[in-house]
């Protein structure tokens, strides 16, 4: 039996759930839809949401559906935050409205449009704080920003997640004598 799927989801005050073709989660931060696969049902009782499955053939999707629903509930009530650091001399980012401009050592600045539901705050031009209510969208935007200049294992320059551990590699040594 799925251990994650059996765990009930606590519903904070201000979060409303409606079950139809999809699970609709509405809260102070926004509204999210979670698809309901065949064989999975939701039951709401005394401030908790439970995910039930009709049989063991739906065991694989049981925990996934519960995790997606829990992320939606947490997103509309508290939101999610993802932090990135830009490391390198002259590397920086600026935001004007919904457009982020990166200067990452290329011959041109890179502009990126932030999707709806994702907000960006920049501290000291090198520390980016992304926030939003959709965990999947937030993670994808952060991954796209990181992909602009991945962390270099030789010089430790680039865009990385805050707290990401990097392995510094040793560069080439001088010419070897035979």
pLDDT in tens, 101-110: 998 888 999 9
Question: Of 3.20.20.80, 3.40.47.10, 3.50.50.60, 3.90.930.12, which CATH number belongs to 80-161?
Answer: 3.90.930.12
For tokens 């079950």, the residue is 19
Residues 6+ apart with CB under 8 A from 75: 25, 27, 29, 30, 32, 132, 133, 134, 135
Q: Do domains 3-77 and 80-161 have the same CATH topology?
A: yes
Q: What would the pLDDT profile of 133-154 be if each residue is shown by its tens digit?
A: 989 999 999 999 889 888 888 8
* Domain extents in the chain: 3-77, 80-161
What superfamily would CATH give domain 3-77? Ribosomal protein L6 (3.90.930.12)
pTM of the model: 0.81
């Amino acid at each position: 039996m799925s251990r994650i799927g059996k765990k009930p989801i606590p519903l904070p005050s201000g979060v409303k759930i409606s079950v139809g073709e999809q699970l609709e989660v509405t809260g102070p931060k926004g509204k999210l839809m979670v698809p309901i696969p065949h064989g999975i049902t939701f039951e709401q009782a005394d401030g908790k949401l439970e995910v039930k499955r009709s049989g063991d053939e739906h065991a694989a999707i049981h925990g996934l559906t519960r995790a997606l629903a829990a992320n939606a509930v947490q997103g509309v009530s508290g939101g999610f935050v993802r932090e990135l650091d830009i490391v390198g001399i002259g590397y920086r980012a600026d935001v004007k409205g919904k457009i982020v401009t990166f200067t990452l050592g290329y011959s041109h600045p890179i502009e990126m449009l932030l999707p709806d539901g994702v907000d960006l705050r920049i501290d000291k031009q090198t520390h980016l704080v992304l926030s939003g209510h959709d965990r999947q969208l937030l993670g994808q935007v952060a991954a796209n920003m990181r992909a602009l200049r991945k962390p270099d294992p030789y010089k430790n320059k680039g865009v990385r997640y805050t707290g990401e551990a990097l392995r510094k590699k040793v560069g080439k040594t001088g010419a070897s004598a035979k």
